[in-house]
Amino acid sequence: MNNAYDRIWLSQYPDGLPQTIPYDEKALQYFLKDSAERYPNLKALHFIGKELTYQEVYHQSEKLATYLQSIGLRQGDRVAVMLPNSPQAVICYYGILLAGGVVVQTNPLYKERELEFQLKDSDANMIVCLDLLFPLVSNVKPNTSIEHIIVTSIKDYLPFPKNLLYPLLQKKQGQPLPKVEQTETTHNWSTILKQEQIDYKTYPIDPKEDIALLQYTGGTTGFPKGVMLTHYNLVVNAQMCTHWIRDAERNNEVVMGVLPFFHVYGMTTVMNYSVLTASKMVLVPKFEVEDVLKTIEKQKPTVFPGAPTIYIALLNHRNLSDYDLSSINSCISGSAPLPSEIQEKFQQVTNGRLIEGYGLTETSPVTHANFLNPDTVQGGIGVPWPDTDAKIIDAETMEELPQGELGEIIVKGPQVMKGYWNNPEETEQVLIDGWLRTGDIGYMDENGCFYVMDRKKDMIIAGGYNIYPREVEEVLYEHEAVQEAVVVGIPDRYRGETVKAFIVSKEGERLNEEAMDRFCRKRIAAYKVPKVYEFRDELPKTAVGKILRRQLVEEEKQNQSINQEADQSS
C-alpha cells in the first residue's frame, strides 16, 4: 500500500522539529547506563520524600541483575513485575534488562484469575511483587511456571521516620504487612541490596529482533494479548518523545510520574523518557487528588504526561485554587479522548500547554500528537510523529480513502510491535505489510491532522445513522455541571441501537434528563441526542484512568437480559 498523502503533515512541522531521526540501535538498558555515567549525582527520582541519584539507581539495578542470574535467569526469560510506581519499579525494569531478561508488566490491581492467566501466557519463571501482594502471588504460583518470588515493600524506600510508621499505618487500615521469610524460592529485596559483588553476564542484544517487554493489552474482548515490543521499538519511541518535547532541557526537567509504569504510556513518556534525558521522576504510587496537588506544588514538575480523567479530577478539586501549578510547561494527554473544555481549563490554571496525543500498546505507544507550539496548526489527535506513516482505509476493501472521509486508521513506523506473543493468527490479522490496523475510526483533514471518531467496535448505528460516541461526549462535557461523561449504544427494538449517556456531576451540582436533553438538542442533530441518561457517583476506570466503556456496555446487556427474563416469567 503506497502512501497517497505524501506525508502532507510534514509541512506543518515547526522549525527545529526533525522529520526523521537517527535512532540509537542499542539495548534499552543503556539509557540508564549512559545517564548514570554522564550525570551520576543528578537526582533520578523522588518518592514520598526519598530521593535516589542516577548512580544509585544504576548500581542497584546491577545488583538485581547479578542476583537474578544467580538464581537461574537466562537470556530471554520472562520476569513479571507487579509493582506500583516506586523506586523498585524502575530498578526492576532496568535490572531485568541488564540481566538479559524480558520484562512482563503486571497490574498490581489484578485478581487471582487475571494474574494467573498472564503468568501462564507469558511463561514467566520469576516475579517481583509488593509484600501486600505476596499472599495473592503465592496462591497463584502452583498453577504457573513461577519458580522464584522476589518481595519488596513500600517502606523499603521511605525516609525516616515514614519507614517505621508505614507498617503501623497499614495495620490501622486493616492491611497488615505479611511476614515474608527468605527461602530458596522466596527472596527479600533487602537481601538483594546488601550484596556487594556485581558480576552479571552481559548478553549480546539485537535491538530490532530481541524483545525487551511483553506488554499485555487491556483485553476489552476475549483474553488479553501479550504485545512483543523490541528494544528498538522502545528506544525509538522515547527518542521521538524527546524531539517532540524539544523545548525541554536535558537533565533539567522534572517529570510527574502519575501514570502507572505497568501501562505502556507511563512507561515510555515518564520512565524511559526521563532516563533517556537524565530528568528527575516524581513517582506517585497511587493517584489521590490532594496528594498530587501538594506534590506538584512542592516538587514543581515541568512535564506532566497524563490521561483526561487525571486532569479532570485535578480541575474539579474543591481547593484547586490553593495550589500553585505554574511549574507545569508541557503535558501530553493519552489513553482516551481529551475534551476541549478540559484542555482549555487546564491551560488556564497552569499557563502550560496541554495537547492530545494518540497511540496504542502495539506502537510503544505514541504515533501522533499535536504540537506544543500554540502557533502551529492543531486538531484532533494531531499529526504522525517523525518517521511514522498513517492513513485512512476502507476497513472492508483495504483501499485508501480521500481526505475527509471516515475510515479505519492504520499506522506504520519503527515503534510498531514485532507481533503478539505466541499468537501468529492475531498478528496476521492486524499487521499487513508493516501496517498496523488500529481498529479506530477517523479521518485526516487537509493539513494532515488526524481525528479519531471512535473505536470501530464502539460506533453506534441507530436507525441507519452512524453515531460516534466521542462527538456526543464532547457536547456533554460542554455543560458546566458535567464532570465526566461516556456514551454507549444500547439495544433498541425500533432503532436497533440507541444512545445512552452515563454522567458524573460535579460536586454540589444536580442534573436530570430533561435539562441534559434540552442542552444537547441545541448542539447536535436529534438522532445523536442521548435517549437514556444514567447519573452515577463514579465511572469504572482502568488503572491509567481510562473509562471502561465496554464494562458499561456489558452491564447494559446483563440488565436487559434480566429484564427480559422477568417479563417472560410474568
CA distances from 479 to 341, 476, 506 (A): 9, 6, 10
Q: Which residues contact 501 (CB under 8 A, 6 or more apart)?
A: 472, 476, 485, 486, 487, 516, 530, 532, 533, 534
Asked if 378 contacts 347 with a C-beta cutoff of 8 angstroms, the reply is: no
Cell 511483587 belongs to which residue?
129
**Domain end marker among 424, 457, 490:** 457
Query: Does 333 share its domain with 416?
Result: yes
Query: Does 516 share its domain with 447?
Result: no
* Residue 173 confidence (pLDDT): 85
User: In the structure, what pLDDT confidence band is assigned to residue 333 with cuts at 50, 70 and 90?
Assistant: very high
- How confident is the model over 83-100, as pLDDT tens digits? 999 999 999 999 999 999
* Residue 524 confidence (pLDDT): 87
Residue 8 vs residue 219, higher pLDDT: 8
* Residue 1 confidence (pLDDT): 46
- How confident is the model over 34-79, as pLDDT tens digits? 999 999 999 999 999 999 999 999 999 999 999 999 999 999 999 9
Q: Which of 484, 442, 449 is nearest to 310 (CA)?
A: 484
- How confident is the model over 107-148, as pLDDT tens digits? 898 888 889 999 999 999 999 999 999 999 999 999 999 999
- Alpha helical stretches, state H, 250-339: 264-266, 273-277, 289-299, 308-315
Query: Does 491 share its domain with 563?
Result: yes
Q: Which residues contact 34 (CB under 8 A, 6 or more apart)?
A: none
> Is residue 55 in some structural domain?
no
User: In the structure, what pLDDT confidence band is assigned to residue 219 with cuts at 50, 70 and 90?
Assistant: very low
Q: pTM for the whole thing?
A: 0.86
Query: Does 452 share its domain with 464?
Result: no
Cell 548478553 belongs to which residue?
203
Instruction: Map 346-368 to HEC letters.
Output: HHHHHCCEEEEEEECHHHCCEEE
CATH number at residue 393: 3.40.50.12780
Asked if 451 contacts 381 with a C-beta cutoff of 8 angstroms, the reply is: yes
Q: How many CB atoms lie within 10 A of CB 353?
A: 20
Q: Which residues contact 368 (CB under 8 A, 6 or more apart)?
A: 357, 358, 359, 381, 382, 383, 384, 385, 388, 390, 450
Number of structural domains found in the chain? 2
> Is residue 537 in some structural domain?
yes
Query: Does 509 share its domain with 449?
Result: no
The residues facing 214 across adjacent strands are 104, 228
The 8 Å CB, 24+ separation contacts for 165-173 are: 170/132
> Is residue 75 in some structural domain?
no
Tell me what the mean pLDDT of segment 220-242 comes to: 88
Alpha-carbon distance 335 to 338, whole Å?
A: 9
* Residue 5 confidence (pLDDT): 63
> Is residue 342 in some structural domain?
yes
Query: Does 452 share its domain with 482?
Result: no
Separation of CA 200 from chain center: 31
Query: Does 556 share its domain with 443?
Result: no
**Domain end marker among 457, 482, 503:** 457
* Residue 250 confidence (pLDDT): 67
> Is residue 349 pLDDT above 70, yes or no?
yes
Segment of 240-254, 333-347, 394-408 carrying the highest mean pLDDT: 394-408
* Residue 561 confidence (pLDDT): 73
CA distances from 498 to 455, 474, 528, 529, 535 (A): 17, 18, 9, 9, 17
> Is residue 526 in some structural domain?
yes
279 DSSP assignment? P
CA atoms within 13 Å, Cβ hemisphere of 471: 19
Q: Which of 187, 192, 165 is nearest to 177 (CA)?
A: 165
Alpha-carbon distance 520 to 534, whole Å?
A: 15
Alpha-carbon distance 202 to 304, whole Å?
A: 34
> Is residue 568 pLDDT above 70, yes or no?
no
Tell me what the mean pLDDT of segment 505-531 comes to: 93
* Residue 565 confidence (pLDDT): 67
CA distances from 354 to 136, 287, 432, 440 (A): 39, 19, 34, 23
Q: Which of 482, 456, 454, 484 is nearest to 470 (CA)?
A: 454
Sheet containing 496-505: order of strands: 482-492, 496-505, 532-536
> Is residue 304 in some structural domain?
yes
> Is residue 567 pLDDT above 70, yes or no?
no
User: In the structure, what pLDDT confidence band is assigned to residue 375 with cuts at 50, 70 and 90?
Assistant: confident
CA atoms within 13 Å, Cβ hemisphere of 452: 28
Query: Does 432 share its domain with 422?
Result: yes
- How confident is the model over 521-556, as pLDDT tens digits? 999 888 899 999 999 999 999 888 889 988 998 888
Tell me what the mean pLDDT of segment 421-444 comes to: 94
Please give the backbone phi and psi of residue 400, each rounded to the nearest 5 degrees, phi first.
Answer: -65, 150
Alpha-carbon distance 225 to 219, whole Å?
A: 7
What amino acid is encoded at 177 in this protein?
Answer: L
Q: Which of 432, 491, 438 is nearest to 461 (CA)?
A: 491
> Is residue 317 in some structural domain?
yes
Query: Does 293 share its domain with 424?
Result: yes
Task: Dig out the grid coordinates for 123 from the structure.
Answer: 511463561
**Domain end marker among 427, 457, 487:** 457
CATH number at residue 473: 3.30.300.30
Cell 512535564 belongs to which residue?
303
Query: Does 448 share its domain with 468?
Result: no
> Is residue 238 in some structural domain?
no
Torsion of CA 372, 374, 379, 380, to 10 degrees: 40
> Is residue 220 pLDDT above 90, yes or no?
no
Query: Does 294 share its domain with 439?
Result: yes
Task: Dig out the grid coordinates for 21 from the structure.
Answer: 531521526
For helices 87-98 and 54-70, the axis angle rounded to 10 degrees is 60
Asked if 281 contacts 295 with a C-beta cutoff of 8 angstroms, the reply is: no
Average per-residue pLDDT for the chain: 92
Alpha-carbon distance 276 to 271, whole Å?
A: 9
* Residue 562 confidence (pLDDT): 73
Alpha-carbon distance 60 to 194, whole Å?
A: 10
Tell me what the mean pLDDT of segment 201-218 comes to: 94
Query: Does 331 share its domain with 440?
Result: yes
* Residue 249 confidence (pLDDT): 64
Structural domain including 376 reads 287-457
Q: How many CB atoms lie within 10 A of CB 297?
A: 14
